[in-house]
């Protein structure tokens, strides 16, 4: 089922499916796996370039080398900007914590107070993916096998995808939009 709010078309899976990241299980695999870098907006590419000197100290040597060769982004097969990759695999901004969990150097720089922008919106919103369709934005749940532990964790905690992603949804679309999502969830539950 699809739900419409303003110019957004939302998959009901965003309300029905449960999801809470379990980094101890997946080790941040979404930053490493895949067939392209993380989707970026043009303004995010500009911010990454503008803040690169502050992000570099949090990056691994492989990522720094790749950025010096390729830049912070490239255009994917749809001619959209995405983060550059190391050896066509992991994001150039990946670094690892003491537990070997992939972390984002952009977010780490932000948390350290070095830059004001947080990680790219597409990363912040994951497992929600946005797609422009004419004048609409489609909001879909992206099911990926590496996130199976997050689905199990979400089921245990009974947290719908959209609730897990409250902060990035508000970042993307505002408080009023998120409040509409809460109303829709209540309406969907009343139909059960």
**What pLDDT, in 10s, does the model give residues 32-52?**
887 788 999 999 999 999 999
Place of tokens 């749940």: 141
pTM over 0.85: yes
What pLDDT does residue 26 have?
Answer: 86
Strand, coil or helix: 120: coil
**What pLDDT, in 10s, does the model give residues 86-143?**
988 899 999 999 999 999 999 999 999 999 988 999 999 999 999 988 999 999 999 8
> Positive or negative, the Cα torsion across 189, 190, 191, 192?
positive
Strand, coil or helix: 45: helix
Over residues 67-77, the mean pLDDT reads 93
Over residues 62-75, the mean pLDDT reads 94
Contact 140, 11 (CB under 8 A): yes
**What pLDDT, in 10s, does the model give residues 141-152?**
998 888 898 999
**What pLDDT, in 10s, does the model give residues 146-185?**
889 899 999 999 999 999 999 999 999 999 999 999 999 9
What pLDDT does residue 192 have?
Answer: 66
Angstrom CA distances, 142 to 37, 46, 51, 73, 131, stand at 15, 27, 29, 22, 12
């Amino acid at each position: 089922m699809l739900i419409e709010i303003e110019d957004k078309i939302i998959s009901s899976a965003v309300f029905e499916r449960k999801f809470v990241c379990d980094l101890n299980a997946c080790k941040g695999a979404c930053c490493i796996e895949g067939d392209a870098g993380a989707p970026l907006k043009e303004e995010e590419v500009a911010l990454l370039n503008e803040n690169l000197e502050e992000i570099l100290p949090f990056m691994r040597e492989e990522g720094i080398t790749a950025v010096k060769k390729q830049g912070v982004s490239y255009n994917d097969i749809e001619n959209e900007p995405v983060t550059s990759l190391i050896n066509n695999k992991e994001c150039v901004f990946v670094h690892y914590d003491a537990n070997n969990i992939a972390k984002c150097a952009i977010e780490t720089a932000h948390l350290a107070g070095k830059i004001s922008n947080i990680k790219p919106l597409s990363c912040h919103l994951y497992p929600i993916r946005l797609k422009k369709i004419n004048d609409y934005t489609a909001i879909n749940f992206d099911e990926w096998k590496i996130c199976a532990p997050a689905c199990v964790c979400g089921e245990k905690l009974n947290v719908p995808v959209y609730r897990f992603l409250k902060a990035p949804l508000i970042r993307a679309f505002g408080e009023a939009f998120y409040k509409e999502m809460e109303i829709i969830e209540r309406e969907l539950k009343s139909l059960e």
